[in-house]
Amino acid sequence: MVIGYLVLNLYALNNLQFSEFQLGGIDLANTSADIKIKATNPTVFPASFERMNLTVNYQSTKFGAITVHGATISPYSEKDLDGTLKINAQALAGLILASLFGGGSGFDINQLRIVAQVDAPIFGMIPYSISKEYSAEEFANLLSDLAKRGEQESSELINPFK
């Protein structure tokens, strides 16, 4: 039974689609902002997760992160999820200063990595995560696909965990 639940939830999580990213209240002092993101579950099974993180790392330093609070999304439905966008102000300032005074561009796109992770504990107790890492080019292609698909039917959305 536990394995059945895991397999069905994993199937539903792997098919979740995300769209309509909205930026809300901005907190300049903490370099953060509230966000909303729409999640769609196109499967016949409910999808449950505790948290979704999208972390941007530059030269092994955490540059910024989006954290979305989890939920259970019913079959064939969509739900607006709340979260937070947080920018590492010191990393941003360091990158700007390196660009201005470093003698070079200061920024190497090949050093940028994006990690997408969903935490979905089994029965709320047993830790379980799905994680995928992208290069900047791969993630840019993912976002480009999202923009193109946004102009089409809403059923053709994007899943960063496939």
What is the total count of domains within the chain? 1
In a domain, 155, yes or no: no
In a domain, 162, yes or no: no
Report pLDDT for 154.
Answer: 43
57 found inside a domain: yes
Residue-wise pLDDT tens digits, 48-58: 899 989 898 88
On whether residue 88 sits in a domain, the answer given is yes
Q: How far apart are CA 145 and CA 41, in angstroms?
A: 19
Q: Evaluate whether residue 86 is within a structural domain.
A: yes
- DSSP calls for 80-97: EEEEEEEE-HHHHHHHHH
Per residue in 65-109, pLDDT (tens digit) is 989 988 899 999 999 999 998 988 887 777 777 667 765 556 677
